[in-house]
Amino acid sequence: MYGTAGSYPSDQYPSERENYPSGKEEKKHKLKNLKDNKVVKAKIKYYTHKKNEFAIISCPSNPTQGAYTWIVANSKHTSPSFSIPGTVVLAGGLNVRYTAKYNDRRNKWEGREFKNDKLHKFRQVGCVHGATQSFVQH
């Protein structure tokens, strides 16, 4: 489960040439960065597929080699194992990325929580670098 691609099928990832906005095109629904001293800025790429907007969220490399990185989003709920109030974990792993979908009716991005697959709506994301090496063999 670590490093999942989110709650959307992998066939929705665009090819290298397909559907990425050019530098001139303005995206209306951008995700914002979480503001917390434990949160690192996420890398976000946007694309459109069949009139739906998606965001691929990834994180910079963890400075502690072999330690997990977690993608978190703002939420009314808090993931119990994290000490950042008002955030839920969307994905975690060594080279982690997550795909979120924009919900036009609710005017928010949405995705499923890592722990219990519960759907959450959010507007802010970020990355949290773990400090302890994992026991996963490379």
The rounded mean pLDDT for the chain is: 81
Cα–Cα distance for residue pair 96/47, rounded to 1 Å: 18
Are 100 and 31 a contacting pair, CB within 8 Å? yes
Kindly give, in sequence order, each residue whose CB lies less than 8 Å from that of residue 39, ignoring residues fewer than 6 positions away: 33, 72, 84, 126, 127, 128
At 113-134, the pLDDT tens digits run 888 888 999 999 999 999 888 7
The model carries a pTM of 0.76
Identify the DSSP state of 103.
E
Question: pLDDT for 13-29, tens place per residue?
Answer: 444 434 444 444 445 78
Q: Which of 128, 122, 125, 123 is nearest to 39 (CA)?
A: 128
Sheet strands side by side (includes 87-93) = 32-33, 124-133, 67-74, 87-93
In angstroms, what is the C-alpha Rg of the chain? Answer: 15
Q: What 3-state DSSP class applies to 131?
A: strand
Domain locations in the chain? 24-133
